Amino acid sequence: MKAKFLVPMALFLVLVGFLAVGLNRDPRDVPSPLVNKPAPAFTRTQLAEPGKQFSPADMKGKVWMLNVWSSWCVSCRQEHPLLVEFARAQVVPLIGLDYKDTRDAALGVLRQMGNPYDLTVFDGDGSVGIDYGVYGVPETYIIDKAGVIRHKQTGPITSEALEKTILPLIDELKKS
């Protein structure tokens, strides 16, 4: 008889469990369907040197990181010092993708805050961004030697994400 009264209690606790998990998840964190798929191809001019082109195929055989940023994006500025520090360690090549921006504004930011990127690709109309499923800059992709996206970070990289997820993954990808 006693067990019968515990049934609603148990159901309630299950419900609380679901709510607790649901409420602690970040609704902005949408799993990207691009993870474990080849990085979409594109060819765009470089930010600093409009005469030179860049395409992800240029990076074949290397583990690299693509960071989507913009001069108008506030959280990109938050992330910037961390990227500068990351670039100093020269773990992997860091390529920037300047998303929906003007060259002058973007170059201004790099002059003012330092340039962590090996090079930046200019995507003024955001069309490369659409192919990469960008919906909230900054976004960062880790791409392996075969040109496959292995991880996507939406929103600014935190030092926690860098140490717990990004760096271990890069180590592993470099070995393979």
Residues that bind other proteins (rule: CB under 8 A) add up to a total of 16
Assess 42 for contact with other proteins (CB under 8 A): no
Q: Take residue 24 and report the two structure tokens written for it.
A: 């602690």
How near is the Cβ of 96 to other proteins at its closest, in Å?
A: 19
Cα dist from 96 to 39, 41, 70, 157, 168, whole Å:
15, 15, 9, 14, 21
Task: Check: CB of residue 138 under 8 Å from CB of residue 67.
Answer: yes
How near is the Cβ of 171 to other proteins at its closest, in Å?
A: 27
Smaller CB separation from other proteins, 123 or 162:
123
Cα dist from 162 to 1, 57, 89, 118, whole Å:
54, 25, 13, 19
Smaller CB separation from other proteins, 10 or 61:
10
Map residues 19-38 to x or -, x wherever contact with other proteins holds by CB under 8 A.
--------xx-xxxxx----
Residue from 62, 78, 91, 131 that binds other proteins (CB under 8 A)?
131
Q: Are strands 139-143 and 149-154 parallel, antiparallel or unpaired?
A: antiparallel
Residue from 93, 114, 124, 133 that binds other proteins (CB under 8 A)?
133
Query: CB count, 10 Å around CB of 173?
Result: 20
Binding site for other proteins (CB under 8 A): 27-28, 30-34, 100, 126, 130-136
